[in-house]
Structure 1
Amino acid sequence: MIEKINGGLGKIIMFLSSVMFGLMVLVAIWQVISRYVLNAPSTFSEEFLRYSLIWVTMIGGAYAFHLKKHIAIEMLVNRFSAATQKRVRQLVQLFLIAFALLVMVYGGIQLVSLTMSQQTVSLGIPMGFVYLSLPISGLLITWFCLTELLTGKNGTTQGSDEPIDL
């Protein structure tokens, strides 16, 4: 059941990230056209692109974390025996859960509450919505770490260590 939840969560994240990225491409094209062709620069596009990039990066980063496609230093861990490697990885998972909960979720909620009364300059939305990506990605990372600790599986298929194709 956990694998189905993670699969569904992954599909939602990929869909939302893809839609947001496609929208970012369209807004960037509009920014270039309005600036260089129409000689009337768009007032919202730069701010929209900046905040959209924050959201895509944070949520996509949480998903990449789940798939084990993030930067990881394995040189030290690989020097241990297989049993020790498993324990070290579990310890790392616990450390990551603590970091995600304390810094990303708790700190992110504090940041959101502090900035909800501030508005962005051209979009006019509360800055708290921009920073909301931090606790959401922290919750996703916590969920993915917990499910890996409980099931021993991550989002990758067995033997899937190939890099992401760009």
Structure 2
Amino acid sequence: MINSINRVLGKVIIFLSSTMFGVMVLVAVWQVVSRYLLNSPSTFSEEFLRYSLIWVTMIGGAYAFHIKKHIAIDMFVERFSTVIQNRIRQCALIFLVLFSLIVMVYGGIQIVLLTTTQQTVSLGIPMGYVYLSLPVSGVLITWFTVVELVTGSNGAINESIEEDLSIH
């Protein structure tokens, strides 16, 4: 059940991130064309690209954490015995759950609530939508971390799952 949820979450995150990145490329091309060929700079493109990059980074970062493709420095931990290594990793995971719940989810919700009345200059959308990426990625990181704590599975993709997630 948990593997199925993680598979679906992975596919959704990959789809959304890839789609958003593709749209970002098209908007960036439009920005260049409108500025240099039409001599009429696009008013929305820079702001859209900035806020889209925030979303892609936050969601993609949560997924990279899940599949263990993020930066990790294990040099210090690897000097200990396997039992101590496991305890250190469990403590790190517990700290990560607390951090993601308190800072990313709770703090993110607070900033979303504070900024829902503010609108972006060019797009005219509430800034809360931009900051919503923080609690969303916090929830994802919390889910992936709790799953790792409960199941002991580190979330790294094995080859069969990797084939399921590949875009054909």
Between the aligned residues of both structures, percent identity stands at 72
Kindly state the Cα deviation for residue 158 of structure 1 after the two structures are TM-superposed: 5.6
Q: Which residue of 2 aligns with 1:59?
A: 59
Q: Give the 5 Å matches for 1:46-125.
A: 46-125=46-125
SS in 1 for 2:120: coil
What is the DSSP-based 3-state SS (H/G/I as helix, E as strand, rest coil) of the residue aligned with 1:59?
helix
Between the aligned partners of 1:38 and 1:156, the Cα distance in structure 2 is 47
Match of 1:6 in 2: 6
The aligned counterpart of 1:27 is 27
Show structure 2 runs of 5+ residues with no match.
Answer: 160-168
Q: Does 1:17 align with 2:9?
A: no
Question: 2:149 aligned with 1:152, yes or no?
Answer: no
Give the letter for the 1:37 counterpart. L
Task: Provide the alpha-carbon RMSD of the alignment.
Answer: 1.1
Inter-partner Cα distance in structure 2 for 1:144 and 1:26: 32
Normalising by structure 2, what TM-score? 0.93
Which amino acid letter does the alignment assign opposite residue 51 of structure 1? Answer: Y
Q: How many angstroms apart in 1 are the aligned matches of 2:27 and 2:158?
A: 39
- The letter of the residue matching 1:73 is I
Q: In 2, distance between residues paired with 1:29 and 1:154?
A: 39
Deviation, structure 1 residue 83: 1.1
CA distance in structure 2 between the partners assigned to 1:125 and 1:38 by the alignment: 26
Q: Deviations over 1:57-93 (max 9, x none)?
A: 0000000000111111101110110111111101100
> What does residue 128 of structure 1 align with?
128
Instruction: Report the TM-score, using the length of structure 1 for normalisation.
Output: 0.94
Structure 1 residues 129 and 73 mapped into 2: Cα distance closer, same or farther (>3 Å)? same
Q: How many residues align?
A: 159
| One-letter identity of the residue aligned with 2:62 | A
Helix, strand or coil for the counterpart of 1:118?
coil
Unaligned stretches of 5+ in structure 1?
A: 160-166
